[in-house]
Amino acid sequence: MPLVQITMLAGRTADQKRKLARRITDAMVEDAGAKREAVVVAFHEVSKESYASGGVLMADK
């Protein structure tokens, strides 16, 4: 069972996540030979205060 975990800043709509899940699943099926029903996509949303890039909190950018 392929598990694809996406960590991103909070704020995407359910529709955006649906589209992402569909496209990621399609890629796993087409390029990795996975069975569609076996692909799991998990979205982990974090706040700007809990995510840093380059040593700087996203809330401070």
CA angle 31, 34, 37 (to 5 degrees): 130
CB 5 within 8 A of CB 44: yes
Catalytic residue among 2, 41, 51, 58: 2
Q: Is 15 a catalytic residue?
A: no
What number of other Cβ atoms are within 10 A of residue 2's Cβ?
Answer: 15
Residues serving a catalytic function are: 2
